Structure 1
């Protein structure tokens, strides 16, 4: 079973097809259609969502392409979509900035831009007054606007970052941290529909044991290549072992001689 927060709602999934992407889960299982499919290959950013995760005792936000992320990767995290930003009938300051600066043209890519800007704004931290265009360009590098409307979108980014206001996520931060602490993975998680399954070990030793027992399994990290077999080639992946929960494999050590990953 995997557990995650869908904004504030605790979701527990056990019998879901592990080949289900986060995009499919949102649109087909939860009826949240604000997240769009543009390319299904991680190139356009229309499907961008935001993940909230614990780093120590702090909450960090990051974007991901929901079209290339399998649901098992949500285990122990918070998933935030564009529907979650509006609060008590009021647009979020990022959404309002897009309106004020006329940052939306055809609108198809807009939810993805909004979510990337949301993560940028949340990660700037309190008390940051200066606007950094380079940081904004990095944050939006994975989002494409086919109407070529980048100037007003960048203006919206500047407004949202320079006029940052406390929001409902700030007000609920302590509550969210407590919820995530309660669902922190403590053992290997499995998701299976009876035919296909995914396994999420917590240590390298568990990974080695599972891989030895399932030599046909595909190893899943970010999914930027592996997920294409499902979204582009329409193949099924019978067994996946997700390595995203293994602390030892998240480390990057840089010396003057080499870079060691994991």
Structure 2
């Protein structure tokens, strides 16, 4: 079984097809069709959702980190212990969220198909910004495509929604949401099982080793930004997967006098600060990796391990003697 919060609703799932994406889960299983499929390959951003994860700062303060993701490339198993927020969740007590109001008032939408994805990227931007920042706005929206408006009014909406932002319902519920996320924090191996297909979710390297020994044919799933294309683009079935994104040891970044060690399941956006501090050119290159949604999900280990001929990091890592 896996558990996660769908906004504030606790969802416990066991008998689901592990090949099910978050996009199709929202649209077909819980009746939330606001999230759209544009490309099913992580290129257009129409399917953008936001995932909240419990984080503890160095000073011990707990908070929720909000990140935009492409739901078309995200398998439901990766939601274990997290909070999923879709565009339907932003409106509160009959009132549009401030990022939705900004899109309306700045005339940032025409046909509207891409609008839910832009709104969710703006929501994540607002949550992670204290003031308008054109650079951050461009970065947050770079993974969202619009064929109708041009981008000027959408960037104006980003500036408006991040300027003098007011607390919203997510801020008001933060303490309660933290408590609920702590209550569902995984304590044992999770699993989605549809009978002929399964995804296992280990918590430790030892668990992972045991599972991989028991299921040597399993596909290892981290960010899934490449692996998910086998399902969404090539219509293949993945009978057994092992999701490594909840293995804490594989998400650590450690500095030593002579080296930097990055866990293979560390998201690219989490690698940025450490790599940029040691190798500014590498940090600059990371900004060219796809989009923020992809960098929030894809991993440096996966970029190497999937052996893609268009992998961005291996040439630079070889040059650095990694």
Instruction: Tell me, yes or no, whether TM beats 0.5.
Output: yes
Q: Assess if the C-alpha contact under 8 Å between 2:196 and 2:239 holds in 1.
A: yes
Structure 2 unmatched runs, 5+: 57-61, 264-322
TM-score (norm 2): 0.78
1:33 maps to 2:38:
no
Which residue number in structure 2 is paired with residue 12 of structure 1? 12
Q: Give 1 or 2: higher helix fraction.
A: 2
Superposed displacement of residue 254, structure 1: 5.6
Which residue number in structure 2 is paired with residue 42 of structure 1? 42
Which residue number in structure 2 is paired with residue 171 of structure 1? 172
Q: Assess if the C-alpha contact under 8 Å between 1:41 and 1:67 holds in 2.
A: yes
Which residue number in structure 1 is paired with residue 134 of structure 2? 133
Cα displacement string for residues 158-215 of structure 1 (whole angstroms, at most 9, x for unaligned residues): 0000031111111111110000000000111011011100000001111111101100
Cα displacement string for residues 76-106 of structure 1 (whole angstroms, at most 9, x for unaligned residues): 0000000000011110000000000000121
Partners of 1:89 and 1:189 lie apart in 2 by: 37
Q: Assess if the C-alpha contact under 8 Å between 2:108 and 2:149 holds in 1.
A: no
Going from structure 1 to structure 2, the CA distance change for 1:42 and 1:258 (only over 3 Å counts) comes to: farther
TM-score (norm 1): 0.96
Partners of 1:185 and 1:10 lie apart in 2 by: 14
Superposed displacement of residue 22, structure 1: 0.2
Of 86, 92, 104 in structure 2, the residue corresponding to residue 87 of structure 1 is 92
Q: What is the number of residues matched between the two proteins?
A: 258
1:103 maps to 2:108:
yes
Partners of 2:261 and 2:153 lie apart in 1 by: 41
Partners of 1:256 and 1:99 lie apart in 2 by: 52
Superposed displacement of residue 256, structure 1: 8.3
Which residue number in structure 2 is paired with residue 117 of structure 1? 122
Which residue number in structure 2 is paired with residue 51 of structure 1? 51
Partners of 1:17 and 1:208 lie apart in 2 by: 24
Structure 1 unmatched runs, 5+: none
Partners of 1:163 and 1:102 lie apart in 2 by: 20
Q: Assess if the C-alpha contact under 8 Å between 1:3 and 1:10 holds in 2.
A: yes
Superposed displacement of residue 154, structure 1: 0.2
Partners of 1:178 and 1:254 lie apart in 2 by: 32
Partners of 1:88 and 1:27 lie apart in 2 by: 23
RMSD between aligned residues: 1.2
- Give secondary structure in 1 for the equivalent of 2:112: coil
1:60 maps to 2:70:
no
Which residue number in structure 1 is paired with residue 222 of structure 2? 221
1:252 maps to 2:253:
yes
- Give secondary structure in 2 for the equivalent of 1:67: helix
Which residue number in structure 1 is paired with residue 187 of structure 2? 186
Q: Give the 4+ runs in structure 1 shifted more than 3 A.
A: 253-259
Partners of 2:76 and 2:99 lie apart in 1 by: 27
Superposed displacement of residue 253, structure 1: 3.8
Cα displacement string for residues 9-65 of structure 1 (whole angstroms, at most 9, x for unaligned residues): 000001011100000100000110000000000001000000011012211100100
Which residue number in structure 2 is paired with residue 2 of structure 1? 2
Partners of 1:210 and 1:34 lie apart in 2 by: 37
